[in-house]
Chain A
Amino acid sequence: GAVVSQHPSRVICKSGTSVKIECRSLDFQATTMFWYRQFPKQSLMLMATSNEGSKATYEQGVEKDKFLINHASLTLSTLTVTSAHPEDSSFYICSAREGMEETQYFGPGTRLLVL
């Protein structure tokens, strides 16, 4: 099946720094990528949807200037958490979809801890 990777798998940073998380589709063209956030014991919440070459569409309550999403190629999307704060500590998961297929393929997630 299709594979989606994320890097890094875990990151610890100081408050105020920026962190970039990469999401790659390894064997298919990800025309659409999704970024989710999951707090402990909570469900995954969609943060934004990005289509290759277009600006991301953010869900209500998600600050687009804080969570910068770039989807410049069909195999790579990046999420940059700018000026991270401890409340941004969470598990970030990306998923990818090819064309109009309904199935999303999920990455393994990135655990962010902001001290």
Chain B
Amino acid sequence: KQEVTQIPAALSVPEGENLVLNCSFTDSAIYNLQWFRQDPGKGLTSLLLIQSSQREQTSGRLNASLDKSSGRSTLYIAASQPGDSATYLCAVAGNTPLVFGKGTRLSVIA
């Protein structure tokens, strides 16, 4: 059974810092891995999707990497801004439907 773990559970950083969010999964037989953003009480916004054959994806200040063999992914946020404050979820797609981690709650302090 696929399990997804995100570390840390919560993170607070001053504005302008670069930061890394971590996601690990137990079953490396995945099709893709996706990073989402969730604002309080809102739905999900897809940020980046990495196919199993890819090593990384970039969108603006966001860079996501994938090491399938070790079951790890990182989401790198450059030059963080207060507007980046949200919960970040990773989810893996494989033989089972999407499995989500519990998320990392990020606070960027102005």
Q: Is the C-beta of B93 less than 8 angstroms from some C-beta in chain A? A: yes
Do B31 and A43 have beta carbons less than 8 Å apart? no
Q: Is the interface of B mostly helix, strand, loop or mixed?
A: strand
Contact B100 A109 (CB under 8 A): no
User: With a CB–CB cut-off of 8 A, which chain B residues contact A84?
Assistant: none
| A43→B98 contact, CB < 8 A | no
* A102 contacts B31, C-beta separation under 8 Å: yes
Q: Is B72 an interface residue (CB 8 A)?
A: no
Interface residues on A, range: 20 to 34
Is there a chain B Cβ closer than 8 Å to A12's Cβ? no
Residues of B close to A106: CB separation below 8 A: 36, 43-46
* A49–B36 alpha-carbon span in the complex (Å): 20
Contact between B102 and A43 (Cβ–Cβ < 8 Å)?
yes
Instruction: Decide if A43 touches B44 in the complex (CB within 8 Å).
Output: no
- Docked complex Cα distance between A44 and B41 (Å): 13
Complex Cα distance, B40 from A91, in Å, reads: 11
Measured CB to CB, the closest approach of chain A to B54, in angstroms, equals 12
**Residue pair A102, B93 in contact (C-beta under 8 Å):** yes
Closest-by-CB residue of A relative to B6 is A43
Contact of A107 with B101 at beta-carbon distance under 8 Å, contacts A44-B89, A102-B32, A102-B93 already known: no
Contacts from B to A (Cβ < 8 Å): 4, 31-32, 36, 41-46, 49, 51, 89, 91, 93, 97-98, 100-103
Q: A44-B44, A102-B93, A108-B43 are in contact. List 15 more A-B contacts (CB 8 A).
A: A34-B97, A41-B102, A42-B102, A43-B89, A43-B103, A44-B91, A44-B100, A49-B97, A95-B98, A102-B51, A103-B46, A103-B49, A105-B46, A106-B44, A111-B41
